[in-house]
Structure 1
Amino acid sequence: MSTEHPGIAAFRAELVRRGGRGKVVVLPDAVHTAALAAEALGCEVGAIANSLLFDAGGTPVLVLTSGAHRVDVRAVAGRIGVERLARASPDFVREHTGQVIGGVSPLAHPAPVPTYLDEWLARHEVVWAAAGHPAAVFSTSFGELLELTGAEVVDVESPA
């Protein structure tokens, strides 16, 4: 019987099902910020793919952004064609991803979630993203993350 957290186990199974090649790493402590994750992994903060779930009028929208960026919600809403992106409540996040804030992975959600990928992440050979729990991450590449999620690439920053 596995002692692995159910969120990590579900993520791992979905990663394998989709043909992902990344390594799942369970850290000794939860890493709720990109800076903490980067420190624990020994990488640049920009190589951390933060999974941010937004509420677009009751529809979930997942933005995978570089830990080096803040998402300009007005600019991104316009770029992806929604009226407004609002910060999702913890209940909304759990309902649409089956996971908790800080551990939202790009995969293994109860139903497909429209996903957008920060173009900045392409600058890193290895990208790290959450793996279904605040203490779990997995290694991937920009190209693989795009393939695994079916995401659209988006500029998350403010217009110049």
Structure 2
Amino acid sequence: MSELFNNFSTLIIFLHVLSAIIWVGGMIVIRFAVHYSMQDIEDPKIKLGRTLENLRRFFNMVIPSIILLLLTAIIMIIALGFKGTPLYNFVILKEIIWTVMTLIFIVIYIKRNKAQKAFDKGEFPIAKAQLAPLAKYLIPTNIVLGLIAVILGITLRGY
């Protein structure tokens, strides 16, 4: 792993940071730009349909980013030899945060799929109920956790 990192450190760090940008930045855009612009749509069926489509497209970008973030993190943790150093606690905390974020993302993914099934059956109140916690709690929680993880990553790169 050290040789891999030494030969491709710029690319590995770039892919790691880009993955975090896509995930965390994407959630910020979805929550604070797209979500509010969707409020202007009066027809509930169109609003739900567009929300589901926006989330589906977002997931198509985020899922590969989550996988790439994990792979590049593992490479960096091993190659940079954090284990056994005082900085290892930051590494562990950062990985705990990304793990919690991934678990929350899985819940978001499942709720979106349930909402899609309800929408396809014409059960709009059920679809809306499945999506409600995403904008209210789940995505904002992941945004905060993601920003904390980014700060920890910057801290680690500073040493």
- TM-score normalised by the chain length of structure 2: 0.23
Q: Which has the higher helix share?
A: 2
Bigger RCO of structures 1 and 2 (CA < 8 A, at least 6 apart): 2
Q: What TM-score does the superposition give when structure 1 sets the normalisation length?
A: 0.23
Q: Kindly name which structure, 1 or 2, has the bigger radius of gyration based on alpha carbons.
A: 2
